[in-house]
Amino acid sequence: MTLLAVEHLEARHGLLHAVRDLSLEIAEGETLALVGANGAGKTTLLRAIAGAHRPAAGRILFDGRDITDTSPHRRVADGITLVPEGRRLFTELTLEENLLVARASGRSGPWTVEAVLEAFPLLGPLRRRKARTLSGGEQQATAIGRALMTNPRLLLLDEVSLGLAPVAVEGVYRSLRGLIESGATTILLVEQDLARAMAVADRVVCMLEGRIVLAGPTGELTREQVTEAYFGLGRSRNGGPS
């Protein structure tokens, strides 16, 4: 069943056309990786889905309902949560307090502080630590945990591995893999690391200059195909310009 449908979406930053006539669908329980170079429009698309960026044209449907003009707060209550690039934790609150802040704005469901700490074992011993004292990987895991506390149906993850040491990335993805394999949450993942993205996602969508230039199941795409689309080389799999 389709959970999210984006139809002919246009999004701008002033005169910059960031997303151009873009359409995609995500099935419930699916993990979709959105890849592309800097400036491809990935973050703008996530922000538009989350309600943080108003589209210039097109529609966003969530569970069959048009949410194009719905407020970000209402979308969180409906089950859409964004983990933004840069994490944006409350640095003077403890890890546990950061998790609890999100509980009030979300839906009822299975995600509690204890459930998050079980899903992200590296966080358990740190629950009383202030967020500013955590490492980058620990902060990223906390940001994802905070999003899960809203009990999302659709989790939007922007640049999970950006700026993290390889060992931190491995720890975050180890926990994410368990979440993905459970199928309990639909995930739209923006990721610069192609190997990571293709290892965890059911499908890959590659954007270039605001458009989708390649899309398909990860098992049917090679890394070379994705890399060519990523850098705009050759022709896309669906026949459009790349």
209: left (phi over 0), alpha (psi -120 to 50) or beta: left
Indicate the pairing of strand 57-62 with strand 186-190: unpaired
SS3 164: coil
pTM to 2 decimal places: 0.90
Does 108 map to a domain?
A: no
pLDDT, residue 88, reads: 85
Range of the domain at 34: 2-86+155-230
Does 131 map to a domain?
A: no
* Range 85-103 average pLDDT: 90
Are 168 and 135 contacting, i.e. CB atoms less than 8 angstroms apart?
A: yes
Mean pLDDT computed over every residue of the chain:
91
Does 93 map to a domain?
A: no
Angle at 114 between CA 109 and CA 118, to 5 degrees: 105
Does 43 map to a domain?
A: yes
* Range 94-122 average pLDDT: 90
Does 109 map to a domain?
A: no
pLDDT tens string 4-45: 999 999 999 998 999 999 999 999 999 999 999 999 999 999
Angle at 225 between CA 221 and CA 230, to 5 degrees: 120
Does 13 map to a domain?
A: yes
* Range 165-173 average pLDDT: 86
Query: Would you give the end-to-end CA distance of the chain in angstroms?
Result: 30
Does 82 map to a domain?
A: yes
CATH of the domain at 191: 3.40.50.300
Strand order in the sheet with 2-13: 16-27, 2-13, 57-62, 65-66
> Residue 237 — pLDDT band, cuts 50, 70, 90?
very low
pLDDT, residue 174, reads: 86
Does 100 map to a domain?
A: no
Q: Exposure string (b/e) for 210-234, b if CB count within 10 Å is 16 or more? A: bbbbbbeebeebeeebbebbbebee
What's the domain count of the chain?
A: 1
Token pair in block for residue 165: 């040491």
